[in-house]
Structure 1
Amino acid sequence: MTFGFAPSAATSLSRPADSANRPARMLELDEWADAGIPLLRNPREVVSGLHSRHRPKPATAVVAVLDHAERLIASASFTPRAAPVDGWEFRNALLAHLRRVIPHDLRRRTPVRTAVLLYCREGDERWTEEDGAWMWGLRDACTLHGLRCGAYITLTRGGWQVLGEGRGGRRPNSESPPADLSETVLEAASSLVRGGGGGVEALRHTAAR
């Protein structure tokens, strides 16, 4: 896979004259990589599960909440309204959907649940300013909902990529048919058994929701 930076459709980081058009609230890739975002133990399982459940097409965002064992608790998918790329708008959209699917954890001293974001888009896996705006929005939405900020994952024609980590794969991708959800759960259960963990029943319950 190719790693690096790519300009968004509307702006370019290399041209100072365009600075007024850049997203007002965004995180650079190195800022995100240095933010202490917790690593997913098995990102492919998470991506495959969300892909099977929501079947995202380009311009679809999927926000998911995971428990301490990386089991899916709640998720929602949506297509952001057409507007200038801005982290504030993305934060508001993410927060609205989080509020619909799960109560906040603001009373806890330390977050125990983690929100991750899968964004299906055109282009390749390289970071764009739109990705930076989503990162800003995810981090802020997590703070306001009492969640720990987790991974930001892009899904493109070339595959999936956990930005800031360098981990990714060719499947699923934005054009691949989703696997049957029961198969995804069985694969995750097998992984837990191989690793000596539990939670098979919880995974089955998640699949049935």
Structure 2
Amino acid sequence: MSFGFAPPPQVSPPPSADSAARLGRMLEPAEWASAGIPLLRNPREIVTGLHDRHRPVPSTAIVAVLDTHERVTASASFTELTAAPDGWEFRNVLLAHLRRVIPHDLRLRAPVRTAVLLYCRAGEPLWTETDGAWMWGLRDACTLHGLRCGAYITLTPDRWQVLGEGRGGRRPRSSSVNKPVTESRRTGAGPPEKRRTTAPAEAPHTAANLPVARGRPVPRRTGGGAPEAHRHTAAR
């Protein structure tokens, strides 16, 4: 008679501390919907204007500042490639571009201008972990620059979509044949810089019902927001 031992079950290794912290620097759909994000009155006009100005290709992010009349006053576009999206890194790069194109409003008692983010990517116009990291980064960058956190918009091969608002359209959409514009501008101010724009938005309503990509696990949130922003040194 022979005796054998069953092979031990396959156990996936626990996530590293860095991975857990990175997953904590994402905003889940429910968190974004409850954050009081102001709805855009005319998102199509803003998306079309930013697309015409920057002509984004996949992996291009466009951060824009809106005044109280929802006009773009400054904007910047840049390419961000990463295998492991991290809200902290996104926050720092957004903050660096905002500082180049528009002065901060930290001395004001309440924000009067709004920052929105348009991200051009492949895939479906549903929430992904990368979107969650961009949302976290946008919210914290706005806090550190004295701005109101505004809409997060995805531009995919099928359509553009304001996540959380349920509004979108077929045109414009992502295209790999565009040549990104490397010029940045600030409306009504000095010489053009390196890829920027702005526009405002007031918030009579809040976002809700953000779609989630099918089959994609929603990361558990372990922390984030402005307190996390102050525990790290923002890029200057």
Specify the alignment match of 1:63 in structure 2.
63
Matches within 5 A, 1:38-53: 38-53=38-53
Query: Residue 164 of structure 1 corresponds to which residue in structure 2?
Result: 164
Rounded Cα–Cα distance in structure 1 between residues aligned with 2:15 and 2:118: 27
Query: Post-superposition shift, 1:165?
Result: 1.2
5+ residue gaps, structure 2, are 1-11, 179-186, 193-236
- In the other structure, the counterpart of 2:9 is none
Aligned residue number for residue 222 of structure 2: none
Q: 1:175 deviation in Å?
A: 2.0
The Cα of 1:177 is off from its aligned counterpart by 8.0
CA RMSD of aligned residues (A): 2.4
Q: CA–CA distance in 2 between the matches of 1:90 and 1:24?
A: 14
Using a 3 Å threshold, how does the CA distance of structure 1 residues 176 and 57 change in structure 2: closer, same or farther? closer
Question: Structure 1 pair 138/18, CA: closer, same or farther in 2 (3 Å)?
Answer: farther
Deviations 1:111-140 (A, max 9, x none): 000000000001010100110000000000
CA contact (8 A) 1:114 1:148 kept: yes
* Corresponding residue number in structure 2 for 1:142: 142
| Post-superposition CA distance 1:125-162 (Å, at most 9, x none) | 01001100000000000000000000000000011000
2:152 corresponding residue in structure 1: 152
Contact 1:66–1:114 (CA under 8 A) maintained in structure 2: yes
* 8 Å contact kept, 2:61–2:77: yes
2:118 maps to what in 1?
Answer: 118
Distance 1:28 1:153 in 2: 15
What is the SS of the residue equivalent to 2:23? coil
- What residue in structure 2 maps to residue 188 of structure 1? none
TM-score by length of 1: 0.74
* Larger RCO (CA within 8 A; separation ≥ 6): 2
| Cα distance in 2 for residues equivalent to 1:205 and 1:104 | 17
Q: CA deviation at 1:80?
A: 1.8
1:155-202 superposed Cα distances (whole Å, 9 cap, x missing partner): 000110000111111110002988xxxxxxxxxxxxxxxxxxxxxxxx
Identity of aligned residues (%): 73
Equivalent pairs counted in the alignment come to 168
More helix by share: 1
| Equivalent residue number for residue 37 of structure 1 | 37
Larger Rg: 2
Counterpart CA distance in 1 for 2:168 and 2:14 is: 31
Answer yes or no: is the 8 Å Cα contact 2:159–2:174 preserved in 1. yes
Q: Output the CA distance in 1 between the equivalents of 2:87 and 2:13.
A: 21
